[in-house]
Each structure stands twice: as C-alpha cells, then as structure tokens.
Structure 1
Amino acid sequence: MKALARFDAWVLRGPFTPRDLGRFRIVFCLLLVLLVPQLDWLAPYPNSFYEPPWGPFALLSGFPSAPVLTVVEIVVFLSLAATLLGLFTTASSIALTLSLVVDFGLNFSVGKVDHSMVMVMVPAVLAFARWGDTCSLDAIRRRRRGLDPVDADTARARLQWPMRFLGLAIGLAFVSAAAPKVLGGWLSLSSQASYGYQVRSDVLSGRSSLLSSFLVDLHVPAVWEALDWATVALEAGVVLCLVTWRSWRIGLAVLALFHVGIGLSLGIWFASNVMAYGAFVAWGRWALPSVTLSERTRRTVSRAAIPLTVGVGLLLWWVSGLISPAIETFRMLIVLAGAAVALVYLLAQVRGLLTRRRGRVPETLHSTSPAG
C-alpha cells in the first residue's frame, strides 16, 4: 500500500498550471495548421494503390471519393478551430484527435507511414487536463453565465496525471522504436546501421540534406558505431527520465537537438515529435500582456462563439490548402525553433548547476581549518 501511495503521489505531482496548458493549446493548434496533410491528392489514385496500415482502414476497398475526402478535411479544421478557440474544449479535442487519425490514416494508405501519431494523441490526452480552462471561449462563457471559476488548486492538481500519461506515452513510443533496432542488429560491432541508413537516404531515396554528401564520404566505423549505440541508448532510455520532471525536460531537450541532427543528415524533420514535447514547456512563465474584456464584449463573444468557430475553421482550411506545398519547410522551422528553446533550457540548467557548485565552495573552505 505504501508503494501504491507513493506511485499515486508521483503521478499527481507536477509543476504544470492551467495557464501553461492554455497557452500551449493555442501554440499547438496554430502549428498544427501548418502540418495537417491535404487529402485531395488521393482522389485520382486507383484502388490498386490502396495499401492501408493495419487497423480499421483495411476495411475499405479503396480511396474514398473526392467529396468524402473534402468532408474529412473540413471536419478536421472545424475541430481544430474549436480546440484553438477553446469552445467545448474537452469534446472538440477528442474530436480533433479522432479526425486527425482518419486524415493521417488515409494519407498513410499509400504505403508510407511516419511518426505523426505522437502529435495526434496530444489533444485527446490533454482534453482530460482541461487545457481549455484558460485562454478560451469556454472560460469567457463560464464567466458570462456567472459560474464559479475553476478553483486554481483543484485545476492544477487534476492536470498533472494527464501530463504524466503523455510523457509515458512518448517514452514508450521511443522504446518501441529502439526495440526493433536492438533485435535487428544495430548494436553489432560488425556493421554500422546508421551509416547504412545514411547511404540509403542519400543514394537510393534521393533525399538530400545539408550534410548527406559529407557523411556518406565519412568512412570512420568507430564514429558510426558510436552513433548506433547512442541512438539506441537515447531512444530506449528517455522513458527513464520521467522519474522527475526536470530530468524529463532535460531528456526532451536532448531529443530536440537529436532531431536537428537527423534533419541535417537524413533530411527527415520530426516536427510532430517536437510539437508534442512543447506540452512540457512552462508557457505560463513567459510574460505576455494581459487582456481584460468588458461585459459587453463577453456577451458578444458568447453569443457568436459557434459561428465564429465555424468561420475560423473554414478560414484555416483554406489557408492550409494554400500553404500545403511548403509543409516540409514548416517541419524544418518547427524543429529548429524547438531546438533553440531546448538549447536555451539546457544552458540554463548548466548555469544553475555551476551556480550551486560555486555556492558550496566557500562553505567547504570555511569548514576546513589549516590544521586539517
């Protein structure tokens, strides 16, 4: 029972606040507009090209018609707009994850699967953290109806366990990536799997990157072997960092820098992973100007909440269609921005460690007499 009590205390312990998640919800949804794939390109494909991943999409005999694909896109962006604005946030967040599963699932039905599902699960998990309690239409409508605001202590306590669950899901996703590498011989000293991936990416896949030509010509087995082991160790061990929130944030910061290396070498930018890591940033600590709405404005916003959300959703759908050709550029920029935040955080941790060590030196010298 003591062990169970300690586990419960660990799950419910955390530094996150409703303001952290409210601001992250807005950032996450705005970035998601840049990454949601369009579906219209699937309509001309013959059904013989339909190769769905394992799961419910295998029940379909081929690609849906163009009108159906358009409806799926609109549902995604209506859910996205509702989550962005914080309208019926719990329900809209779950709807966003479900609609994204359909969107990405159809995109994966041509045989190519990526790591976007880490990002897709974020809204459904944080729906239970009530990330719409602040910076949202729900908060305005609640106050407009005269309902009591959510108690700060209660709100803060109940959002910790979804954050721990999200961290565990991310950690286990990396474990699932490390396990096949171990079973497939990545740690064998007789071969360098990282170099094989680099050559295949540069020569066979034709995916050029800033460093690909240099790395293909780098025939130093010790370097590539070390990279094999470091990759497996990082992917398999990051879940252990979840023991404390500080170590978890440090682990995610290292992963963010690792993703930059993957992008520069293989040309693959894991923007969806970096967006999921953003849930653990202390967004509430960033100083932003406060906005106070008058009673008249609250009344107007409350009455227009649903048509406003529909309008924003259709606008975002239209914008997404315009910018979809630049999706790879947006992926790169998101990863680079995440790496910049990670680097600042790691430097702050090093600085704090050095400051604490300097603070202990005088005390040690003072306690040691010359007579020793």
Structure 2
Amino acid sequence: MKTLAKNLLNIPFFVFFLFFLVPFMTNAQVGIGTTDPKSTFEVNGSFGQKINTITANTTLNDTYGIVICNNSLTAITVTLPDVTFCTGRVYTIKRNATSTAIVTIAGTIDGVTNLILKDANDSATLFSNGTEWKAVSNSNSSWNVKGNTGTSSTTNYIGTADATDLVLKTNAISRVNITSAGVTTIGGATDRTKFEADGTIVLEGAATVWDDFLVNPDATSRGGSNVPVWGGIGATAFKKNGSSQGVFLWMFSASTEQEVYFTVQLPHKYKVGTNLLPHVHWTTATGIPTGTNVVWGLEYTVIAIGGAFPTTSTLTANSVIGSIGTPTGTGQHLITSLGSINGSGIDISTILICRL
C-alpha cells in the first residue's frame, strides 16, 4: 500500500512536467557560442563541412557537402540527387585548379538542364527547394556588363557549350539567332538577313540591299536608227586637256530624239521578285539644263528564262533627282530616275532588251 501511494503521488508531477515541457521545446532557439540566439539555430563561430574529392562520374547523396573535382584531363559528370527527397540540402561543387576538362553538373538548375563548369577553379553552390535546384552562387565564366579583362580568345567566349542555338534579344524579341549548325539570322521573324554556314548571304522577306547594275551603252555593237554622236562636241573628245587624246561618251542632240540599244542580264545576286529601279547618269557638254528640260525614255521588254518576250513598255522622265537640286553648270554629273520595273515574275538571269 505504501508503494502504491508513492506512485500515485508521482503521477501528477510527471504529467505537469510534460505539460510545460512541450511548449518550451517547440519555441526554443538554440545558440552555440552565444547565450542570446536571434535565430532558430545560431552559431557564433566557424563550423566544418565534409569535403569530398572526386576524379570520376559521381552521383551525390547525403554524405556529400563540398565536392572538389580533381578530374585532370577527363570530363566528368556530377549528378544531383532527386530534388524532391532532399529539400534544403546544399552542395558546393568546384573544379580543381589542375582540372583541364569540363565538369557537367547534371540536374535541373534554375529551370535549365545541366550546369557546366567550363574553366578551372569554376564553382557553384546549389540548394534544393524541393522542386528544383537553385544556384546560390556560380563563378562559371561570368561576364561583366561593363567589360572584362584578362580574357583569352581561345578559352573565353559568349555562347553555348552544347548543340543549342544562341539567341540575342531586345525587348524580349529575337534579333540575332545563331543555330548550332552555324546559320546566323539578323532581323525579325520573317524580314531578315541570313548568313549560311558556308558564307552565303540570303535576304528573306522584305530585306533588300540595293546595288547598281552598271550598263554601258558604249559597249553596244549597233547604233540606233538615229544614233547619237560617239565622242564630244562635234565628235571630238569629251573634256580633253588640249593636248591629250581625251575621253569619249555618247552625245545626244539637244533638239533631236536619238537612241542607243543595249541588253541586260540580271546577276545572281539579284533578290528575286524585287522591283528594278532604272536611272540615267548624264551630263552636258554645253549649256546648263534647267533640271526638267531634258527628257529620257527607256523602252524595254523583259522575260525570265523559259518565257516569251512580251511587247515593249516605255518609261519616261524629265527631272533630275531631288538631292541634286537645280543644275548649276556645264559638265555637272546628273541623275534622272525612270521609275520602276515590276519585279513580279523576274528571276536570276532574266534578260532585258532596251532602247534608251
């Protein structure tokens, strides 16, 4: 009986102790090296973490902390564990100074599959949030937006280290795209310039480069029915210095319609389907034109390979281009635009037969 009473007296004290002990443990803050911790767990001093040195492909688990990759000449892969089973776990992975081959950290890190430590001494500190791995820090070949020093053209570059396209954007829109096959496009989604891997330039969409295709009427072997004079004033040389043989041009009469004939073949650099913009470069041997009193006409027929030449069309114009303004002297270099020839149905090596 005495023993039973003693046990009964102990019971309330035991329950009372548990009642107060549970809240105390739940709200406790633990401090090491401090009596006033400000966090759930606070260490006032240094702490150690296990260091693992690896030389080959390795899958990490809960026994790894700091991982030194001493892989020398051999590329290796460090595989991260299933992120859903190690929430809060932290790894620091570093390439050794003597490492000359890349280290691939295999896993989804900040939404990207795999992280590559490309250079010796590169490192990354990663943690699991239960869904994916996050990089706390990454020294992997970062570039300074204000410029970089000490770079090497053989080891440092901006780009990808795998078969992934490189895209440069402005306002989140692609402006430059370099494919893994070496094809580069500059511009928008459809209107752009494409550089093939072999160096070929292709203009796509509305992209256009205007280039003059020079036609020399003096190369014709047959004059017109009312052919201009080949030479200068009175069939003499144009702008000779008095004792020289001088130079020659086709000289048209100021009062009579005259013509020369010529043939044009469109070159291979012609952008198929674009309009042709014929214009005449001309000058005067005597007198000053008003800028509108000289009329030029171009009669032509045009057809692509395999087609039949249609009847001719004629373009005429009497005004020099606006950037020149009103002519101011004799012998001035002038240009008159003759409008445009529709590029529909025109192809590379299309032939134009013309009369100017």
**Same fold, TM-score > 0.5, yes or no:** no
Name the structure with the higher strand share: 2
TM-score by length of 2: 0.16
Higher RCO, 1 vs 2 (CA within 8 Å, ≥6 residues apart): 1
TM-score by length of 1: 0.16
Name the structure with the higher helix share: 1
